[in-house]
């Protein structure tokens, strides 16, 4: 089982930036998909971005509305995955989660919540205007 812990949440002014971290441990011997998601109370969890932690080059995928404003990255070992969030607005206020899952047959990752099995507890991001 993969264990994940998010950090870096907090309060930020509209227009500002925040970087979230996801510490990954446990069954990480083979490449995994690590995804970032968010959820507003009363709404469905939505995908943001995903990254493959194995070799063969950096493979990332974004949900279109986040591309260009949010950036996913990882450290060289794949033990920490980051989400850099820029130009934040009040609609970005949510609980942010990272999760681990297996890659698709073509060794790609997609930030679709149902593809992920192990989840962190989440970190709250609040954007004030």
- pLDDT tens-digit series, residues 30-48: 789 999 999 998 999 999 9
81: Cβ–Cβ under 8 A, 6 or more apart, which residues?
A: 21, 22, 24, 34, 36, 51, 53, 72, 73, 74, 75, 98
Contact 111, 50 (CB under 8 A): yes
- pLDDT tens-digit series, residues 94-124: 999 999 999 888 888 999 999 999 999 999 9
Q: Are strands 18-26 and 10-13 parallel, antiparallel or unpaired?
A: unpaired
């Amino acid at each position: 089982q993969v264990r994940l812990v998010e950090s870096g949440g907090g309060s930020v002014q509209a227009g500002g930036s925040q970087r979230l971290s996801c510490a990954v441990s446990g069954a990480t011997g083979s490449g995994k998909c690590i995804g970032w998601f968010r959820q507003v109370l009363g709404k469905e969890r939505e995908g943001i971005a995903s990254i493959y932690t194995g070799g063969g080059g950096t493979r990332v995928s974004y949900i279109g509305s986040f591309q260009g404003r949010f950036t996913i990255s990882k450290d060289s070992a794949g033990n920490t995955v980051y989400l850099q969030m820029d130009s934040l607005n009040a609609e970005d206020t949510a609980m942010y989660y990272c999760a681990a899952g297996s890659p698709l047959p073509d060794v790609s990752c997609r930030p679709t919540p149902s593809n992920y099995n192990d989840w962190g507890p989440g970190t709250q991001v609040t954007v004030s205007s």
